[in-house]
Amino acid sequence: MKILFLNGPNLNLLGTREPEIYGRTTLADIEAKVRERAAKLGAEIAFRQTNQEGELVAWIQEAKGKFDVIVLNAAAYTHTSVALRDAISAVGVPTIEIHLSNVHAREEFRHKSLIAPVCRGQICGFGANSYILAVEAAVTVNG
Ligand code: DQA
């Protein structure tokens, strides 16, 4: 079981970015926790971040045949990107949408996810733990 974690714009700033919303855990800390949990469950992890929409699209396309599941925190692109949504449905690799914050309890523009309809499910609102819950969801995604 191979899981590809993809992180979108500004998530490289975790730890110092609006800590009252996103917490003080850095993306490197989250990656370490994800790797620890995944190792216990026997899953292999790739973990990447980019600020560029096109790079996320390219990584989703390349995942076909290489990864069993994608876990995607598309950050702001969640709410804007038809290209990401199209890539997820084109490639057909089961994708789990995640967010640190509870996007439904925040500004109205965050309530709409363009990717949600093509994802298997959504995990949000649990801070860094959303990533750990996503590992658990990923290993059981196909039953
Ligand atoms: C986020 C929520 C998005 O609305 C926001 O643009 C982000 C982070 C989260 O993890 O809570 O950058 O995806």
In this structure, what CATH number is given to the domain that contains residue 18?
3.40.50.9100
> From CA 136, how far away is CA 126, in angstroms rounded?
14
Q: Calculate how far, in angstroms, residue 36's C-alpha sits from the geometric centre of ligand 1.
A: 24
Nearest Cα residue to 31 out of 20, 47, 16? 47
Indicate if ligand 1 lies below 6 Å from the C-beta of 99.
yes
Q: Are 101 and 71 in contact (CB under 8 A)?
A: no
State if residue 17 touches ligand 1 by the CB under 6 angstroms criterion. no
Ligand 1 pocket test, pick from 101, 123, 126 with the greatest ligand atom count within 8 Å of Cβ, gives 101
54-78 pLDDT, tens per residue? 999 999 999 999 999 999 999 999 9
pLDDT score at 142: 76
The pLDDT value recorded for residue 111 is 98
**Whether the CB of 13 sits within 6 Å of ligand 1:** no
pLDDT higher than 90, residue 140 = yes
Q: Is the dihedral of CA 101, 69, 37, 6 positive or negative?
A: negative
Indicate if the pLDDT at residue 8 is higher than 80.
yes
Q: Which residues are catalytic?
A: 22, 99
Amino acid 91: pLDDT: 97
Q: Is 51 a residue whose pLDDT tops 90?
A: yes
What span, in angstroms and rounded, lies between the C-alpha atoms of 29 and 102?
Answer: 20
- Both tokens assigned to 16: 């110092």
Q: Which residues are 46's β-sheet partners?
A: 4
Whether residue 128 has its Cβ less than 6 Å from ligand 1? no
Choose one of 11, 13, 99, 111 to mutate for the ligand 1 pocket test, by most ligand atoms within 8 angstroms of C-beta: 99
Has residue 107 got a pLDDT over 80? yes
Tens-digit pLDDT profile for residues 28-44: 999 999 999 999 999 99
**Could you tell me if the CB of 35 is within 6 A of ligand 1?**
no
pLDDT of 143 > 80? The answer is no
pLDDT at 116: 98
In this structure, the residue with its CA closest to atom 3 of ligand 1 is: 75
Give the model's confidence band at 82: pLDDT under 50 very low, under 70 low, under 90 confident, else very high. Answer: very high
Q: Quote the domain boundaries for residue 125.
A: 2-140
Q: How far apart are CA 85 and CA 113, in angstroms?
A: 10
In this prediction, residue 80 carries a pLDDT of 98
Domains in the chain, number: 1
Q: Could you give the CA distance from residue 6 to residue 47 in angstroms, rounded to a whole number?
A: 6
Q: How many residues does the chain have?
A: 143
